[in-house]
């Protein structure tokens, strides 16, 4: 029985996945190689450092620790410039309606994001007041697919993992939630998120009754 929902941030609640992609692409280009949207799928949900490592392996490049630090700083500077201008309009369609409905229905909500920039985004968009708990990259030490971020979220909500459903747009995030023993709802396309228990193209029209119905139809 689901009593709490944990939301990933980038690409689920807010339209920031494209900013991450743009910032990583600029970094790749400055290092002399190209980086496609398809390749970017592997970075989704993955921490800043782990993302850089994947990017460098795609470009077949090795950097010293100092160079890595400055590459991450430059990517992040770029990214922060983009999200610094966000407004509530950056909230993805359907997200606010769902969060409000969950609050009214007594379903607990938490954020489960790898991003260290989550506080800035929550503040710029006004999303903070719809969340009962916030776990972000400033509190975690292990990147998705490690379950750490979602287990901390369940703990904050005082729920068992089995009582939580996770919304994720990243394959690494779906895996993390499953590693935590939680039900998963993918946001995106089947070919990228084929392991999710249920799948939606986006949050538009996703209500608690739609979710309850889909969850009760799952094999147990
Ligand atoms: C999210 C995004 C990733 C990003 C990670 C760390 O999981 O999906 O693309 O790399 O957060 O974000 P940060 O803002 O801390 O660099
Ligand atoms: Mg995401």
Strands laid side by side in the 198-200 sheet: 133-135, 108-112, 4-7, 164-168, 183-187, 198-200
Determine whether the shortest distance from the Cβ of 145 to ligand 1 is under 6 A.
no
For residue 32, the model assigns a pLDDT of 97
CA dihedral over 169, 38, 88, 144, signed as positive or negative: positive
Ligand 1 atom nearest residue 43's Cα? 9
Paired with 109 in beta bridges are 5
Q: Is the peptide bond before 129 cis (omega within 30 degrees of 0)?
A: no
- 16-48 burial, b if ≥16 CB within 10 A, otherwise e? bbebbbebbbebbeeeeeebeeebbbbbbbbbb
For residue 194, the model assigns a pLDDT of 94
Determine whether the shortest distance from the Cβ of 45 to ligand 1 is under 6 A.
yes
For residue 7, the model assigns a pLDDT of 98
Instruction: List the chain residues with pLDDT less than 50.
Output: none
User: Can you tell me which residue has the tokens 């990583």?
Assistant: 24
Cα 200 to ligand 2 centre (Å): 14
For residue 37, the model assigns a pLDDT of 95
Taking Cα atoms as reference points, which of 165, 162, 160, 154 lies closest to residue 132? 154
Residue nearest (by alpha carbon) to ligand 1 atom 13: 115
For residue 219, the model assigns a pLDDT of 85
- The ipTM of this complex is 0.98
Q: What is the three-class DSSP state of 189?
A: coil
How far apart CA 144 and CA 72 sit, in angstroms, is 18
Q: What is the three-class DSSP state of 179?
A: helix
For residue 208, the model assigns a pLDDT of 96
Kind of pairing between the strands at 133-135 and 198-200: unpaired
For residue 220, the model assigns a pLDDT of 74
How far apart CA 212 and CA 197 sit, in angstroms, is 13
């Amino acid at each position: 029985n689901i009593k709490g929902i944990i939301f990933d941030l980038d690409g689920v609640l807010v339209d920031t996945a494209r900013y991450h992609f743009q910032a990583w692409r600029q970094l790749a280009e400055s290092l002399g190689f190209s980086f496609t949207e398809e390749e970017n799928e592997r970075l989704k949900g993955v921490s800043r450092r782990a993302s850089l490592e994947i990017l460098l392996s795609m470009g077949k490049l090795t950097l010293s620790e100092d160079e890595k630090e400055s590459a991450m700083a430059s990517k992040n500077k770029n990214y922060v410039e983009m999200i610094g201008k966000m407004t509530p309009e950056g909230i993805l369609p359907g997200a606010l309606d769902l969060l409000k409905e969950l609050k009214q229905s007594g379903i607990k909500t938490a954020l489960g994001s790898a991003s260290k920039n989550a506080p800035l985004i929550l503040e710029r968009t006004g999303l903070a007041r719809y969340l009962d708990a916030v776990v972000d990259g400033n509190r975690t030490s292990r990147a998705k697919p490690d379950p750490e971020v979602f287990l901390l979220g369940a703990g904050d909500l005082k729920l068992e993992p089995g009582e939580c459903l996770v919304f994720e747009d990243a394959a690494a995030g779906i895996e993390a939630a499953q590693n935590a023993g939680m039900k998963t709802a993918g946001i995106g396309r089947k070919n990228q998120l084929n392991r999710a228990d249920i799948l939606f193209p986006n949050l538009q029209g996703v209500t608690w009754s739609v979710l309850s119905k889909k969850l009760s139809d799952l094999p147990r």
